[in-house]
Amino acid sequence: MDITKIAALALVAAALAVLLRQYRPELSFSVGLIVTVAVFAAITPYLKASLDFIHTVAEQSGAALPITPVIKALGIAFIAAVAADTCRDAGESAMASRVELASKVAILTLALPLAGELMGLFIRILG
């Protein structure tokens, strides 16, 4: 991944968005959305390689089951952060807050079965 190209793209797009915001605010938002999609497209192969490596290590260590919710939680957090930032860029801070709240609830729901398993393990160890 060439972070310099991604950073350059973001800086040029930010400058373009600032210029467009004065004359055509709706196009300014579109520029940000297009850059978001482009950055996701650029990092997807690297993200997939990283996740494949994590899954391989987890399977070899016998921790494949517990690592899955952690990876899902990271995915939820990344997606929610991008969605909330996009909402804020569009001037919708209340909507951004709702996206963040929904992501926290989703992560909590995802973590509850794992927490239950840990509590059961503690009870078996102590009992």
Per residue in 77-104, pLDDT tens?
999 999 999 899 888 999 999 999 999 9
Q: How far is CA 106 from CA 15, 59, 65, 111, in A?
A: 35, 25, 18, 9
- Domain edges within the chain: 1-61, 63-127
pLDDT at 1: 64
pLDDT at 70: 85
First to last CA, the chain: 50
Cβ contact 110:76 at 8 Å: yes
pLDDT at 64: 64
Extract the residue ranges of the chain whose pLDDT is less than 70.
Answer: 1, 63-65
Is the pTM value of this prediction over 0.75? no
